[in-house]
């Protein structure tokens, strides 16, 4: 493996942080969803790198699982966003605060 | 014997239970005749059983155990009966008077609502009193004692729509409660020392007790009897108890309530005789009460209150007799008093009914004598017996008590004898005052005019046997042939000719004085009740004891209750419990701001939480 394992992990961590910042900072529902996707993919990257580093298959299998979960999550998330948009005409996260205490 | 005594108790209890079972049926009411018949049959059954038991007893003493009642480690209580001559006589008198009162109640309650409740309470009253009369186990006796208190409370406040009646009922209950507490304390004392609550057992072992303990127990029993028997200074409930229906007054005064105190002391006489100071106190209470009660009766205008104070006074005589050690005399007077007082109350009930509820003796007037001679003659028989005019029974019973006091040595008893003789004079005076004003006086203007209707047959019919008994029950214990004393096994003191003639003179003096002041002649001008002078006010109000209790007991109690309620409960306890609640609520208000309902807040929290957890894990990994 050409790229050192530590570098890949750092990249995965940076990606994860970027995704997290995106999910927390953005106010559009769609962008929050994208942030979550990025975080998932960062995790998948770390799994793949680990699988390569130790030469074992479980990490790659987990990466496949993550892709499947991400696909399902996107399907549900997008459907929810569409439904929210149809109900209220808005996709801004701050417009949905009916659970306020 | 077992059968008779069991059924003596079971008859009134069964009557009460049958009526009680019908009470909650609400919509369905048994026919009135049925309830009346059940109540009267129950009391008649009790009377028949009392007679049979009396006949079978032959003056012996029987100790029967009905069943075990309570069994605890180190303590058993049985429903046991002690049937001795006192109980036999008392049972006879109680059931006889109760039976006649039941009969009398039938027409009396015809126009009233709540007759089912009335007859239920009447039967229960009789049952409780019979428990007191027969019980050997003191806890069983206490059950009857409390039952009597409860029934009197419920019956005095029978017409509960009037707040005054309810107050009178409560007052009776509360004042007698003092006595209940004393009795319970005495029982606890006896049990802790002797380990038994059986009356016969206690009376056998009591000689082994230390004297101070006997004295203490004696005083406690005395207080118990004073409250129940309405003796000074706890007599305040009895005049107010007149709020109840008249037959109930007759029952309370003659048979079931007031006599319970005297009877309790009779039962405990072996204990009391060991404490001479208690005996002297007992006699003093009796003599003072007899005198003051008689004086109070002189000032009353309400016919029932006159009779109430007269009861207080006569029960005082019984206490005096008992205090002089003459159990036979006390019981003799108790029986005689039961007959003439129930007669007088039932007669007064007839009069009040005829006059549409008029209680004021000055508004009754002379027409009654001409229209209703039967009422007049029976009432006169009662009064003659009450005053103790020589051939009537009251003369003999009172004479025996006076003789007993006369025989006691000591300056204390001499003084009490003087008080008692004054009470005899007053007794005759107020008795004949009542008779003369009610049946010979001119009615005040505005008095009810229509008195010609005959009273219901049954109400008059029961007066005849009572009148006969009131006049002749003195034969039980004539000075020459003392059957009663022999039956009871208590020696009868012989009133000498000095005592007898003094007694007669005083009674006749009272009669003459009453005739002069209240009779048709009306010479002394005492008819105006104010002529008692400055004494009239205190006498009318029972010496202001009511006001004294209100200011000295009720008011501090109320202030204390108010303090405890407003001060301690509301300020301290209530607010003290509210404070943590307010604190938690305040915390909630602060935390509530965190819950904005926004997606981003949740995500931020998630991120921060995850970061914190990771930091912790990293720290632990490093170190």
Q: Inform me whether the C-beta atom of residue B597 falls under 8 Å from chain A C-beta atoms.
A: yes
3-state helix, strand, coil in chain A (%, to 5): 80, 0, 20
**A24–B607 CB contact, under 8 Å:** yes
Confidence at A1, pLDDT banded by 50, 70, 90? low
Chain B residue closest to A23 (CA)?
Answer: B603
Peptide bond just before B71 cis, omega within 30 deg: no
**A97–B597 CB contact, under 8 Å:** yes
pLDDT digits (tens, 9 = 90+) for B3-25: 777 777 777 787 777 777 776 66
Structure tokens at B256: 């079931």
More confident residue, B471 or A79: A79
Confidence at A69, pLDDT banded by 50, 70, 90? very high
Among partner residues A20, A23, A94, which is closest to B598 by beta-carbon distance? A94
| Residue A43 contacts residue A16 (beta carbons within 8 Å) | yes
Using the predicted structure, report yes or no on whether residue B282 has a pLDDT greater than 50: yes
Q: Does a structural domain hold residue A72?
A: yes
Q: Inform me whether the C-beta atom of residue B601 falls under 8 Å from chain A C-beta atoms.
A: no
**A24–B603 CB contact, under 8 Å:** yes
| Residue B26 contacts residue B54 (beta carbons within 8 Å) | no
Q: Inform me whether the C-beta atom of residue B589 falls under 8 Å from chain A C-beta atoms.
A: no
Cβ count near B475 (within 10 Å): 12
Task: Enumerate the residues of chain A whose CB falls inside 8 A of the CB of residue B607.
Answer: 20, 23-24
Q: What is the DSSP letter of B302?
A: B
Q: In which residue are the tokens 């419990």 written? A: B577
- DSSP assignment string, B201-268: HHHHHGGGS-HHHHHHHHHHHHHHHHHHTT-TTSTTHHHHGGGS-HHHHHIIIIIISHHHHHHHHHHT
**The pLDDT of residue A63:** 93
Q: Is the dihedral of CA B534, B537, B543, B544 positive or negative?
A: negative
Chain A residue closest to B593 (CA)?
Answer: A101
| Distance between start and end Cα atoms, chain B | 97
Phi-psi region of B195 (alpha: psi -120 to 50; beta: other; left: phi over 0): left
**A98–B597 CB contact, under 8 Å:** yes
Q: Inform me whether the C-beta atom of residue B590 falls under 8 Å from chain A C-beta atoms.
A: no
| B75: helix, strand or coil | strand
Average confidence (pLDDT) over A66-95: 90
Average confidence (pLDDT) over B442-465: 69
More confident residue, B367 or B199: B199
Query: Which of A46-50, B27-31, B352-356 shows the lowest mean pLDDT across its residues?
Result: B27-31
Q: How far, in Å, CA of B316 to CA of B323, rounded?
A: 10
**A100–B596 CB contact, under 8 Å:** yes
**The pLDDT of residue A61:** 93
Using the predicted structure, report yes or no on whether residue B456 has a pLDDT greater than 90: no
**A93–B595 CB contact, under 8 Å:** no
Q: In which residue are the tokens 């208690």 written? A: B278
Kindly report the pTM of this predicted structure: 0.75
**B596–A20 CB contact, under 8 Å:** no
Query: Which residues are CB-neighbours of B616 under 8 A, at least 6 positions away?
Result: none
In Å, how far are B305, B309, B337 from B379, measured between CA atoms?
16, 17, 14
| Residue B186 contacts residue B278 (beta carbons within 8 Å) | no
Structure tokens at B512: 């003459």
Using the predicted structure, report yes or no on whether residue B238 has a pLDDT greater than 70: yes
pLDDT digits (tens, 9 = 90+) for B41-97: 888 888 888 888 888 877 777 777 777 777 777 777 778 888 888 888 888 888 888
Q: In which residue are the tokens 């931020």 written? A: B604
| B135: helix, strand or coil | strand
Strand partners for B137: B198
Chain B residue closest to A94 (CA)?
Answer: B598
Test the B interface: residue of A19, A20, A23, A24 with most B CBs within 10 Å: A24
**The pLDDT of residue B529:** 47
pLDDT digits (tens, 9 = 90+) for B285-338: 888 888 888 888 887 778 888 888 888 888 888 888 888 877 888 888 888 888
**The pLDDT of residue B538:** 67
Q: Which residues of B585-617 are buried (b: 16+ CB within 10 A; e: fewer)?
A: eeeeeeeeeeeeebbbbebeeeeeeeeeeeeee
Confidence at B530, pLDDT banded by 50, 70, 90? very low
Q: Does a structural domain hold residue A98?
A: no
Per the structure, how many domains does chain A have?
1
Task: Enumerate the residues of chain A whose CB falls inside 8 A of the CB of residue B598.
Answer: 93-94, 96-97, 100
**The pLDDT of residue B68:** 79
Query: Which residues are CB-neighbours of B473 under 8 A, at least 6 positions away?
Result: B335, B336, B339, B393
More confident residue, B483 or B600: B600
**B599–A96 CB contact, under 8 Å:** yes
Structure tokens at B163: 């707040």
Query: Which residues are CB-neighbours of B117 under 8 A, at least 6 positions away?
Result: B23, B158
Q: Inform me whether the C-beta atom of residue A93 falls under 8 Å from chain B C-beta atoms.
A: yes
Test the B interface: residue of A94, A95, A96, A98 with most B CBs within 10 Å: A94
Range of the domain at A86: 5-90
Q: Inform me whether the C-beta atom of residue B607 falls under 8 Å from chain A C-beta atoms.
A: yes
> What are the contacts of A34-37 at 24+ separation with CB within 8 A?
A36/A73, A36/A77, A37/A70, A37/A73, A37/A74
Q: Inform me whether the C-beta atom of residue B592 falls under 8 Å from chain A C-beta atoms.
A: yes
CATH of the domain at A61: 1.10.287.3510
Among partner residues A27, A29, A101, which is closest to B592 by beta-carbon distance? A101
B578 CA: distance to closest CA in chain A (Å): 24
Q: How far, in Å, CA of B165 to CA of B157, rounded?
A: 5
Interface pTM, i.e. ipTM: 0.83
Structure tokens at B315: 């029960």
pLDDT digits (tens, 9 = 90+) for B251-269: 888 777 888 888 888 888 8
Chain B residue closest to A31 (CA)?
Answer: B600
**The pLDDT of residue B498:** 74
Q: How far, in Å, CA of B84 to CA of B134, rounded?
A: 9
Structure tokens at B491: 């020696």
A85 CA: distance to closest CA in chain B (Å): 15
In Å, how far are B138, B318, B468 from B314, measured between CA atoms?
27, 7, 20
Q: How far, in Å, CA of B603 to CA of B5, rounded?
A: 88
Task: Enumerate the residues of chain A whose CB falls inside 8 A of the CB of residue B595.
Answer: 99-101
Q: Inform me whether the C-beta atom of residue B577 falls under 8 Å from chain A C-beta atoms.
A: no
- How buried is residue B20: exposed, middle or buried, by Cβ count under 10 Å (0-12/13-18/19+)? middle
Q: Does a structural domain hold residue A101?
A: no
Q: Inform me whether the C-beta atom of residue B588 falls under 8 Å from chain A C-beta atoms.
A: no
pLDDT digits (tens, 9 = 90+) for A3-57: 888 899 999 999 999 999 998 888 888 999 999 999 999 999 999 999 989 988 9
Number of H helices, E strands in chain B: 28, 2
Using the predicted structure, report yes or no on whether residue B523 has a pLDDT greater than 60: no
**The pLDDT of residue B24:** 62
- How buried is residue B374: exposed, middle or buried, by Cβ count under 10 Å (0-12/13-18/19+)? middle
Using the predicted structure, report yes or no on whether residue A68 has a pLDDT greater than 80: yes
Task: Enumerate the residues of chain B whose CB falls inside 8 A of the CB of residue A20.
Answer: 607
Share of chain B above pLDDT 90, in %: 3
**B598–A20 CB contact, under 8 Å:** no
Q: In which residue are the tokens 């003084």 written? A: B415
Confidence at B500, pLDDT banded by 50, 70, 90? confident
Q: How far, in Å, CA of B174 to CA of A9, rounded?
A: 90
Chain A residue closest to B591 (CA)?
Answer: A101
Q: Is the dihedral of CA A90, A94, A96, A98 positive or negative?
A: negative
Among partner residues B593, B594, B600, which is closest to A93 by beta-carbon distance? B600
Q: In which residue are the tokens 């009069």 written? A: B351
Q: Inform me whether the C-beta atom of residue A30 falls under 8 Å from chain B C-beta atoms.
A: no
| B77: helix, strand or coil | strand
């Amino acid at each position: 493996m050409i790229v050192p394992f530590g570098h890949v992990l750092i990249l995965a961590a940076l990606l994860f942080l970027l995704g997290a910042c995106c999910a927390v900072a953005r106010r559009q529902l769609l962008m929050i969803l994208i942030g979550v996707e990025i975080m998932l993919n960062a995790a998948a990257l770390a799994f793949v790198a680990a699988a390569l580093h130790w030469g074992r298959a479980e990490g790659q299998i987990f990466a496949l699982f993550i892709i499947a979960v991400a696909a399902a999550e996107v399907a549900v998330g997008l459907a929810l966003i569409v439904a929210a948009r149809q109900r209220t005409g808005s996709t801004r996260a701050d417009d949905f605060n009916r659970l306020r205490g | 014997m077992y059968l008779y005594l069991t059924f003596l108790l079971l008859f009134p209890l069964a009557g009460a239970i049958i009526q009680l079972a019908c009470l909650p049926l609400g919509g369905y009411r048994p026919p009135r005749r049925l309830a009346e018949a059940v109540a009267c049959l129950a009391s008649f059954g009790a009377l028949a059983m009392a007679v049979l038991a009396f006949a079978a007893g032959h003056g012996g003493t029987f100790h029967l155990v009905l069943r075990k009642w309570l069994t605890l480690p180190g303590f058993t209580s049985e429903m046991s009966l002690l049937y001795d001559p006192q109980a036999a006589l008392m049972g006879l008198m109680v059931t006889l008077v109760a039976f006649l009162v039941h009969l009398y109640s039938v027409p009396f309650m015809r126009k009233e609502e709540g007759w089912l409740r009335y007859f239920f309470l009447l039967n229960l009253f009789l049952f409780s009193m019979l428990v007191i009369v027969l019980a050997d186990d003191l806890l069983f006796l206490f059950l009857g004692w409390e039952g009597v208190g409860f029934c009197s409370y419920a019956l005095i406040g029978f017409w509960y729509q009037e707040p005054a009646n309810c107050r009178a009922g409560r007052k009776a209950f509360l004042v007698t409660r003092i006595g209940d507490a004393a009795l319970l304390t005495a029982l606890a004392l006896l049990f802790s020392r002797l380990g038994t609550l059986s009356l016969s057992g206690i009376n056998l072992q009591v000689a082994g007790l230390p004297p101070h303990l006997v004295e203490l127990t004696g005083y406690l029993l005395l207080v118990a009897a004073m409250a129940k028997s309405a003796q000074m200074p706890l007599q305040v409930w009895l005049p107010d108890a007149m709020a109840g229906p008249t037959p109930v007054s007759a029952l309370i005064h003659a048979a079931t309530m007031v006599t319970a105190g005297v009877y309790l002391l009779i039962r405990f006489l072996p204990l009391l005789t060991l404490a001479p100071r208690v005996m002297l106190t007992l006699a003093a209470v009796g003599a003072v009460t007899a005198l003051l009660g008689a004086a109070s009766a002189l000032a009353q205008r309400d016919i029932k209150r006159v009779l109430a104070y007269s009861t207080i006074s006569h029960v005082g005589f019984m206490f005096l007799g008992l205090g002089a050690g003459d159990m036979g005399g006390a019981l003799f007077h108790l029986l005689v008093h039961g007959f003439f007082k129930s007669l007088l109350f039932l007669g007064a009930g007839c009069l009040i009914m005829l006059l549409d509820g008029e209680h004021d003796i000055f508004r009754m007037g002379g027409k009654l004598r001409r229209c209703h001679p039967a009422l007049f003659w029976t009432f006169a028989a009662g009064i003659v017996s009450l005053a103790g005019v020589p051939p009537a029974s009251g003369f003999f019973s009172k004479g025996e008590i006076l003789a007993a006091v006369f025989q006691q040595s000591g300056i204390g008893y001499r003084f009490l004898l003087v008080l008692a003789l004054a009470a005899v004079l007053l007794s005759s005076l107020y008795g004949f005052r009542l008779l003369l004003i009610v049946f010979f006086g001119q009615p005040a203007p505005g008095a009810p005019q229509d008195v010609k209707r005959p009273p219901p047959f049954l109400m008059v019919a029961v007066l005849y046997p009572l009148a006969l008994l009131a006049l002749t029950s003195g034969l039980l214990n004539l000075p020459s042939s003392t059957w009663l004393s022999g039956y009871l096994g208590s020696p009868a003191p012989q009133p000498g000719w000095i005592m007898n003639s003094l007694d007669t003179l005083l009674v006749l003096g009272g009669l003459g004085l009453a005739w002069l002041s209240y009779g048709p002649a009306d010479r002394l001008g005492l008819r105006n009740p104010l002529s008692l002078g400055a004494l009239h006010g205190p006498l009318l109000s029972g010496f202001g004891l009511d006001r004294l209790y209100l200011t000295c007991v009720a008011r501090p109690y109320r202030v204390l209750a108010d303090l405890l309620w407003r001060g301690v409960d509301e300020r301290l306890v209530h607010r003290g419990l509210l404070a943590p609640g307010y604190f938690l609520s305040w915390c909630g208000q602060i935390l509530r701001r965190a819950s904005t309902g926004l997606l981003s807040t949740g995500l931020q929290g998630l991120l921060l939480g995850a970061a914190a957890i990771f930091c912790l894990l990293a720290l632990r990994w490093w170190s």
